[in-house]
Amino acid sequence: MTLYQQTTALLEVCEGCLTRFFAMREQAAVPDFFTDVKPFADNWQPQVNDWAQAATAWLADHPQKYMHAVQIESAKEGLNQVIVQSFYKETSKKRFTDTVFAARYTLNSLQKLLEVQ
């Protein structure tokens, strides 16, 4: 999978997490950690880490004026948090949405840079 495809997949995960978060809040549902949360997180966290490594390597080979490795690392941490927190209604709405929007901004910015290169 190319870096562009990885980035697109993670953008879709962001949208899915945002949708799930609001659905869980509306339903007041309590997920089962071992059947719902853990399998989803175990599937996506390695993919997020692989994306971060590939994006950091790409930035090292193609230095950018407005995109740096620290932003990739921040997006990685945010995505890993959002993947788990999207299942829980107790998560702070503002903090959750801010984290999703920050990760999405970095993903969109990287995607635009990849389109140009």
Q: Would you state the pLDDT for residue 79? A: 97
Q: Give the DSSP letter of residue 110.
A: H
For residue 26, the model assigns a pLDDT of: 92
Residues 54 and 30: beta-carbon distance below 8 Å:
no
Q: What is the pLDDT of residue 1?
A: 87
Average pLDDT per consecutive 10 residues, the chain (117 residues; last block may be shorter) = 96 96 90 94 96 97 94 97 94 96 97 91
Cβ proximity of 72 and 52 under 8 Å:
yes
CATH level 3 topology of 3-116: Four Helix Bundle (Hemerythrin (Met), subunit A) (1.20.120)
Query: What's the whole-model pTM score?
Result: 0.93
CA pair distance 71, 13, nearest whole angstrom: 18
Give the pLDDT of residue 92: 94
Other C-beta atoms closer than 10 Å to the C-beta of 51 total: 24
Neighbours of 13 (CB within 10 A): 22
Contact call for residues 99 and 18 (beta carbons, < 8 A): no
What gap in Å lies between CA 88 and CA 66, rounded to an integer?
34
Q: What are the residue ranges spanned by the domains of the chain?
A: 3-116
